[in-house]
Structure 1
Amino acid sequence: MDHISDHVLRALWYLDSMASQGIVLTRNDVNRIATVTPPRDTIYRSFLNPLAGSALFESTVPSRRAQPVATYLVDVDWASETPEGLKITNKGRAILRLSGADEHEHAVNESVVNDVALSPDDPLVYTVLTRRLAAAGEGMLVDPYFKAENLRWIVEATSLKRILISKKASAKERPIISVALGTLPNGQSVEVRATDDANLHDRRIIAADGSVQMIGTSINGIGRHETAMISPEPAIAKAYRDSSEQLWTNAEKVEPRQLKAPVETDEASDRE
């Protein structure tokens, strides 16, 4: 394969790597990773030790300093600039997973495993569920049958910012959710939307980093039914992620509403 340049092979590696994570690249994506110069790393070398660089000696003297990386990460779309600062993108998260760095970090932090059973016989079932939802960061919960009584828990125990529900399934529940959004402390930190699209059925969590977890039953049924949370393979995760975003875009916002005092009747009405 000597006739194929390293430049082309690196681009092919990136294309194949992203595909393995369920991410489809555009021409611009591929060109960016092939043309943007990566920042150089630090090189350690000792000018006093003639055997520096051998396996027997490790030098701690930097002979060349590392270059800044933030601009590079943004240029290749592995990170994005937000008002709050830099945030990793789906492509950046995929690179972490492929490199093994993400797995190492999760092992250090003792994060949850990919799949987990939620048994009504487990006294810690709600603790496990809360941990999973909290790990999704500022993600989205897709639950057609979501109920207002779970909103306080979502606001206080997780960082979720979006909840997608079904218009048909929540016809009676939406006014109650509306009041809960308007009256709970920090209730408006979460946006709820309702869709009438018949394609909304499966419950899932779309995490802020783009990862997906499927939930076997509605949040309301956790603790009452045997179910599980499962992370689908990358291609399936991408399909659910894309469809969830499309449903969200076309859904109708459930506006927060505060309760008003009862209407007072006048004396004439009382007499009548």
Structure 2
Amino acid sequence: MQIVTEEQHRVLAFVDAVTGNGYRPLVSEVEAWLAYPEPREAQYHWEKVEESEAGSLMGTPMFDPLAGLSETINRIIRTNILPPDFMQAFSYMARTAGGGSGRRRVQTSPAETLIEHLTRIGWLRCHGADGETRVELSALGRALLRHVSAAGREEDLQVVMLDRDDPVAYPLLVGYLAELGTGLLVDPYLKVRNFQDLTQHTKVNRVLMRNDGTQVKEFATISLLAAAADSPIEVRASERLHDRYFIPSEGTARSIGTSLNGVGRKYATVFSTVPAEAEAAVREYHQALWEAAAPVEPGTDDVDDEPS
């Protein structure tokens, strides 16, 4: 048994979308959308065209030469006149239909524009000023926009769970990074083997690590690997680093739950897109860290894995 009809579902979804974003719609606003979900098409009527004008309108889409067709057919049958081909028959019908007349299609009102439609159903408001018409969102339109934008962000949100003790977790993460193209990898505890994988299997062209004064030997090796890489890759170190991100040159930034050296070993890792509201702040903050960071330099000591 069908409990909710398609039309009822449309009403419920519309009201839920609007009220969920801080606006209670009027009954008239809901009914306007139900009655006119699309802009109105142009309206036409037919008017009679006399024989003297019908010939010049033949073949145009706004002319109906078959007005009075039944009477024409009756005349052909009565007079036994059979034109030699179809076009001659068509022309004959046009000249004789309805007593030598046809019908012309005349537009009575133009098609409604999208702005006119959204204004009529209450999603936009138009105001005249300085001889110009200006448009703004109504409270209803703003609530609907918030709903659609939020739905889009939910669709864009991608979360990948990489389990601990999973032998393919680390290769999967490197593969995800490779698909994202060039960009900045922020990883405080990146190890030499991870950096080597980046140079061989991804297009990452900037790496920001943490400098706590103990990684001199590791920095020296990473410097050599960067110099020998097929594609340019720049490495800098900052003392003000904790979180892990990949910020692509184009597209959405990703957060990485743990350092690459722990993926598939010590910790389960969440690799997810950064919410749209935080994207600009993440990019701006790490760009500032990058600009203040210093290039890596050689040394003698190694560094332990990321602490738990």
| Matches for 1:94-173 after TM superposition, within 5 Å | 114-168=158-212, 171-172=215-216, 173=218
Q: Is residue 220–residue 298 contact of structure 2 (8 Å, CA) maintained in 1?
A: no
Report how far residue 154 of structure 1 moved: 0.5
Report how far residue 135 of structure 1 moved: 2.3
Q: Is residue 252–residue 274 contact of structure 2 (8 Å, CA) maintained in 1?
A: no
Sort the Cα spacing of 1:241 and 1:151 in 2 relative to 1 into closer, same or farther, 3 A. same
Q: Distance in 2 between matches of 1:135 and 1:244?
A: 21
1:195 — aligned with what? Answer: 238
Tell me if 1:220 matches 2:257: no
What count of residue pairs does the alignment treat as equivalent? 161
Q: Distance in 1 between matches of 2:297 and 2:202?
A: 21
Q: Distance in 2 between matches of 1:169 and 1:129?
A: 28
Report how far residue 8 of structure 1 moved: 6.2
Q: Is residue 183–residue 249 contact of structure 2 (8 Å, CA) maintained in 1?
A: yes
Residue type of the partner of 2:199? V
Q: Select 1:178's aligned residue among 198, 223, 242.
A: 223
Report how far residue 143 of structure 1 moved: 0.4
Q: Distance in 1 between matches of 2:286 and 2:248?
A: 11
Report how far residue 145 of structure 1 moved: 1.1
1:207 — aligned with what? Answer: 248
Q: Distance in 1 between matches of 2:262 and 2:168?
A: 15
Moved over 4 A (4+): 6-9
Residue type of the partner of 2:126? D
Q: Distance in 2 between matches of 1:139 and 1:214?
A: 13
Q: Select 2:278's aligned residue among 236, 244, 256.
A: 236
Residue type of the partner of 1:130? V
Q: Distance in 2 between matches of 1:210 and 1:256?
A: 34
**What secondary structure, in the 3-state scheme, does the structure 2 residue paired with 1:189 have?**
coil
**What secondary structure, in the 3-state scheme, does the structure 2 residue paired with 1:248 have?**
helix
2:292 — aligned with what? Answer: 250
2:126 — aligned with what? Answer: 2
**What secondary structure, in the 3-state scheme, does the structure 2 residue paired with 1:145 have?**
coil
What is the Cα-based RMSD across aligned positions, in Å? 3.3
Q: Distance in 1 between matches of 2:214 and 2:247?
A: 21
**What secondary structure, in the 3-state scheme, does the structure 2 residue paired with 1:128 have?**
helix
Q: Deviations over 1:61-93 (max 9, x none)?
A: xxxxxxxxxxxxxxxxxxxxxxxxxxxxxxxxx
Q: Distance in 2 between matches of 1:155 and 1:229?
A: 20
Report how far residue 118 of structure 1 moved: 0.9
Q: Deviations over 1:88-147 (max 9, x none)?
A: xxxxxxxxx969xx97xxxxxxxxx71011113433212320222112211110001112
Sort the Cα spacing of 1:117 and 1:218 in 2 relative to 1 into closer, same or farther, 3 A. same
Q: Deviations over 1:35-82 (max 9, x none)?
A: xxxxxxxxxxxxxxxxxxxxxxxxxxxxxxxxxxxxxxxxxxxxxxxx
Sort the Cα spacing of 1:156 and 1:211 in 2 relative to 1 into closer, same or farther, 3 A. same
Report how far residue 254 of structure 1 moved: 2.6
Residue type of the partner of 2:259? S
Q: Is residue 138–residue 160 contact of structure 1 (8 Å, CA) maintained in 2?
A: yes
Which blocks of at least 5 consecutive residues in structure 2 are unaligned?
1-124, 300-308
Could you tell which deviates more after superposition, 124-133 or 167-176? Answer: 167-176
Report how far residue 251 of structure 1 moved: 1.0
**What secondary structure, in the 3-state scheme, does the structure 1 residue paired with 2:167 have?**
coil
Percent identity of paired positions between Structure 1 and Structure 2: 34
